[in-house]
Each structure stands twice: as C-alpha cells, then as structure tokens.
Amino acid sequence: MTPATATDALTLARDFDLRHLSPAFYTDPYPVYHALRTHEPIKRMPDGSLFLTRFRDVQAVYRDPKTFSSDKTVEFGPKYGDSPLYTHHTTSLVFNDPPRHTRVRKLIAGALTARAIAAMEPGLVRLVDGLLDAAAGRGRIDLIGEFASAIPVEIIGNLLDVPHAEREPLRGWSLAILGALEPSLSDAQFERGNRAVSEFVGYLQDLVARRRREPGDPQHDVLTRLIQGEEGGEQLSETELLQNCIFILNAGHETTTNLIGNGLVTLTQWPEQRAAMLHEPSLIESAIEECLRFESSNQLGNRMTTVDTEIGGVAVARGTPVTLCIGAANRDPDQFAEPDRFDIRRDPNRHLAFGFGIHQCAGLSLARLEARIAIGRFVQRFPAYRLDGEPTRGGRVRFRGFASVTVEIDPTS
C-alpha cells in the first residue's frame, strides 16, 4: 500500500462514494479506508447511509442487533423489486433478525459441530492432495479456478449431499447471486442473479423431493436436518428451506475461495513470512487468522437502525442504512499494531473477518479448517511457487478476491 499524503487523504475521504468507485479502489482500497478512518470515520454517503471504518464503531454495531437490524425487507425493495433475488436475500439467514435467524442458524450449526468438522479433515486432505498432484503434473496452476474454488464447492456439496455429477453449476450460481449484492448493480448483474436464483431453486426442489423420499443422516447431512427441523420444534417453510440451502452454498463458497486465494498470493508478497511458515509449520493456524485480518474475504456488512440512536457520538436517525467496513476495521491502528504489516505471528488478533455477535459466521470453524489444509499443504508441497504475471482481481467491493491467479510451481522443489 502506498500511503497517501495528508492532502490526498483528505480528498479521498471527502470524495468517497461507495456507488462510484475508481478502478484503483478495487485494486487497493486500503488507502481510502485509512483516509476515512482519519478524517471521516462515520462517513455520510450521498444517499444518506453511513459508512463505518473504525474497529470500535463496527464492533459496537455488531454488539447491538436490536438497534441495528439485519432484516433487509425494506432496504432491498428498491434495489431488487419483486424478483427472485429479493425473495432469496430477504429469506436468507444472514439478512434476518431473531426469531427467524435463531431458528435457521440453530439447524445449520447443529450439523457443524466440532466432531462433525473434525470428521471432514481426512477427506479434505485427500481432496487437496489430489488437486496438488494434478498441479505438479502440469507445472502450473490457476490458484482460483483449479484449486481454491474447487475446495469449498466440494465441502458444501458434501454437507448438502449433492450428487457429484450435479455439482458443476453450483459455483456459477453462487457467483451470480453474490455479485448482485454489490453496492452498484448493473442490469446484467441483476439479470444473471435472478436467473441463477430461479435455476438454483428449481434444482433444489427436485433434490429436496429426493431427500424427503430417502433422508440422510441429520448429524452430517445439512439438507436432511433442514427438512426435518428440530424435534418437536417448528418446521421451515418451503421457501425458507430452499433459500437457506442457497445461502449455505453462497456463504461458504466465495468467502472461503477468497480466503485461500488471498492467503497464497499475500504469502508471495511477504517472503519472510512464507519462509517462517515453511520453517515452522505449526504457525499455520495464526497465519490463517492473519490472512483473514489482512485481506478480509468479506469486506462489507450492512445494518438498518430501528430507533434513533448514536454511533461514536454521532446522532443517527431511525431507518438509516449503515455499512460496516470490515476490511477497514481489520486495518485499524487503534486495534492492531502496524496494521498494514502482514505478520503470521500476530497475537492477539481479534479481527472481525467472521463478523461478531449473533451473526458471527456459523461456518467459521469449517472455513478455518479448509484454509489451514489448503494453504498449509500448498506451501509445504510447493515452497518456491511464484506468480506468473499479475493476478486478475475479482472486481468486487463486498467480496475481495481474485478471478484468476496463474502460479508456476516446481514439483521437485
């Protein structure tokens, strides 16, 4: 990151508009985040919403889900209208408040226990080693298309017990649906997102019908668990069931893909940190936490105020949309010493990459496992891997990652 001068920083903060961003921002948003934290940490956007960049403000909003609602039924109306995207995003776990949020989260979390996740590790190791074997035979690999994205799609496909022959469309559907969450939405993104939701729902209706006829083990099969609900408890409606199956794929797919891709690219940019991890493989767990903090896969969260309130001493009226900039909070010097330094030994490292409070990511332990196995085994297998050309960014603000990253490897190193 190139530090901005004081004058430049003031200009960056003054001119910032989430709906009108420069190409430079997509490449490196951190100078803008720094400028905002310094000059306008509670930034009023032209549309009247607020954009928060300080760790303490973002965390305070997370701590108070009653005042700062996750429900998007009002906010998403003008954006999506009466469309499949509106139905999906207003039914998903992440965009709802209790009691609906609590009920669905409990069902999902019940299949993601520590024991269930530990049982996934041998299969995950086999999957990763198979991808690495294939890369070794080629001498090069696209870190995203041929490695990082293949891992979460397989894991989530297993969680929902999607037949392997039917998994090919999953990634495309996920990218299209999540792409429609960008602050500024093009007609093409809107059309792709709606088509993806419709196609995904159609597929799931058939899969659910099959699973009703032949249920799986609810301790491991999330789809069976969602169909059956809690014993003696309320059942999910058909819409809740279908839309939250889509959510499970989306929540665990692009963010984990980006975590793995971002981590492996960042390690090429900080060679002394890569050398330390090679020398001390036990550093992998703290390295994953630093990857999560330093290049957070999910950069933005959103809330809506339910009452007149205040944030950081600033009065905020009821009904104000609030954007939580996770990427900026995780680079806040008031929380992290030398925040722009990638340090795999950083301790403590209480980042917000998985959110905080009742909406903290239900699959965080699974994401950590996937990243630990994928990044750790890649670095140990190919210690001298190097970028071949400039990586291609994913072109997203909310989800920070790469579309493709070509890497040369030496199988004998």
pLDDT score of 59 more than 80:
yes
The C-alpha atoms of residue 355 and residue 360 are separated, in whole angstroms, by 5
Q: Which of 99-108, 268-277, 399-408 has the lowest mean pLDDT?
A: 99-108
Mean pLDDT in residue range 254-271? 97
Q: Which of 109-123, 249-263, 277-291 has the lowest mean pLDDT?
A: 109-123
How far is Cα 270 from Cα 199, in angstroms, rounded to an integer? Answer: 42
Task: For 18-68, give the DSSP string.
Answer: TTS--HHHHH--HHHHHHHHHH-SEEEPTTS-EEE--HHHHHHHHH-TTTE
pLDDT score of 5 more than 80: no
Helix/strand/coil for 350: coil
Segment 360-376, tens digit of pLDDT: 999 999 999 999 999 99
CATH 1.10.630.10 residue ranges of the chain are 41-408
What is 41-408's CATH number?
1.10.630.10
413: pLDDT confidence band, cut at 50, 70 and 90? low
Report the mean per-residue pLDDT for the chain: 94
User: Which pLDDT score is estimated for 232?
Assistant: 67
Please determine, for residue 144, whether its predicted confidence score (pLDDT) is greater than 90.
Answer: yes
Average pLDDT over residues 34-47: 97
Cα 269 to Cα 248: distance, rounded to the nearest angstrom? 32
55-84 average pLDDT score: 96
Q: Give the pLDDT mean for 318-332.
A: 98
